[in-house]
Amino acid sequence: MALIVVCATILQCKNKTNDVETNVYNSEIIKGKVYTTSHKSELKLSLTSEIMFSKFKQPLETDIDIVVSPNKEFQEFVGIGAALTDAAAETFYKLSDKNQKLFLEAYFDTEKGIGYSLARTIIHSCDFSTESYTYVEEGDTDLKTFSIAHDRKYRIPFTKRAIQAAGGSLTMYASPWSPPAFMKTNNSMLKGGKLKKEFYQPWANYYSKFIKAYEKEGIPIWGLSIQNEPMAVQRWESCIYTAAEERDFLKYYLGPTLEKDGLGDKKIIIWDHNRDLLFQRASTILNDPEAAKYVWGTGFHWYEDWKDDTPMFKNVASVNEAYPDKKLIFTEGCNEGYDLERLANEDPKLAERYGKSMINDFNNGTAAWTDWNILLDETGGPNHVGNLCFAPVHGNTKTDELTFTNTFYYIGHFSKFIRPGAKRISSVSSSNSIISTAFKNENNTIAVIAMNTADQPLEYTITIDLKTAKLKLAAHSIQTIVLN
């Protein structure tokens, strides 16, 4: 299969972001390096050209021009990463030592890989576990039997390996899919149900115990979301909260409990569901000062496009406009319905869904972006309810082959060149044919990302400080232009 790569070809770009030999962006000479990934080609995050900006050229209406304004700064960038699920961990440990090392280097190394700096973990089981389980025995209201022993087999050692590969630090947040069955109105972890009122406090205590247990294992927890997809009745682990119920659980139980337990510095993320109801949920909680004081930001997914195939990016912008003092974080997205044929044929829609979302979400104020499973097996699992999906990397547990899909490289165009602490800057395209975003890193390098989803190559220009550079972007391609 063409997508299977060996160690030497995972990343053809070998230059550090700060290796660009340029002067500062407002000097007489502006130079840049261009990295490209193109479908059905050998270009995978490859250094394809070097450009030099020359005298400003007024774009015509027929031209495609991206205007970059480095002095117009917006949100601070937190990071890009993925979920370290049970499924990912189990698949990882079925690979050879050689491919385990290759996988970790590809994702987390900032020079040889794409430099992931963010990760999500699960609080007991989710659909991408091989079974449903909790950390307490059935009926243990006092949580006396609480134990994360289950996670010590795969997920904890996998997470530690990821942290080590990332240089010893990884911004990690946790999310639950369901409270234990005995705490819920339907007496099941699956198929929705609600948290019983009498278990609001025990469930709040559960988060605290989880954080302390993981940190005792050497895994710092930066933050947590209150509930994964709180308006979805799924056939797997799920639990329903109305906006008012989530607000009150946070306001009267979770927030005060974390503070009481010395965990008040943990970043609390509300909603953690699709963009469609994002504003309704955020406004209900953030308009209440006593609840809002505990909130770091609002999390969201991308699955609202089941309605009409149209992502609701505008809702992200609306929350950012209404609550500029709170953060936005993309907490989950994946391509559903694993299909080996689509993977083998390099269906461009798989990777381009990521590119469109990341560009639009960042331009609408998002500070951090999290993919779903970081690794899945050759079936799109394991998954205890058959909800099989795509991942950027698949590990064949029968043949010990790693498949790095175009999605992996598309994400890398952002994560490798935009580093934590960067600030988004203005980047406006004059055409819908090429969409773009741009960030300025703390070392003053600028990363401009441009994506072409058309079936034909397109020429475009970048204008910065009244200087212009001309570029070309192949059909179904993405580029990162690195400037100083």
- Cα 407-274-189 angle, rounded to 5 deg: 100
Question: Which helix (H) or strand (E) covers residue 313, if one does?
Answer: helix 313-322
Question: Which distant-in-sequence residues (6+ apart) come within 8 Å of 449 by Cβ?
Answer: 355, 358, 359, 413, 414, 417, 436, 437, 438, 478, 479, 480, 481
Relative to beta strand 401-404, strand 393-396 is antiparallel
> What is the C-alpha separation between 450 and 37, in angstroms, rounded?
11
Residues 6+ apart with CB under 8 A from 292: 285, 286, 326
Residue 207 tokens, joined: 């988060």
Which of 90, 304, 332, 352 does the annotation list as catalytic?
Answer: 332
Phi and psi for 376 in degrees, rounded to 5?
A: -135, 165
Angle made by CA atoms 217, 218, 221, in degrees to the nearest 5: 100
Looking at 90, 229, 237, 246, which residue is catalytic? Answer: 229
**Strand order, beta sheet including 423-429:** 46-52, 31-38, 477-483, 446-452, 434-440, 423-429, 65-76, 458-464, 467-473, 54-55
* CB atoms near residue 344 (< 10 Å): 12
Terminal-residue alpha carbon distance, the chain: 38
Determine whether 42 is an active site residue.
no
Q: How far apart are CA 375 and CA 155, in angstroms?
A: 12
Q: Is 229 a catalytic residue?
A: yes
Distance CA 108, CA 181 (A): 36
Give me the active site residues, please: 229, 332
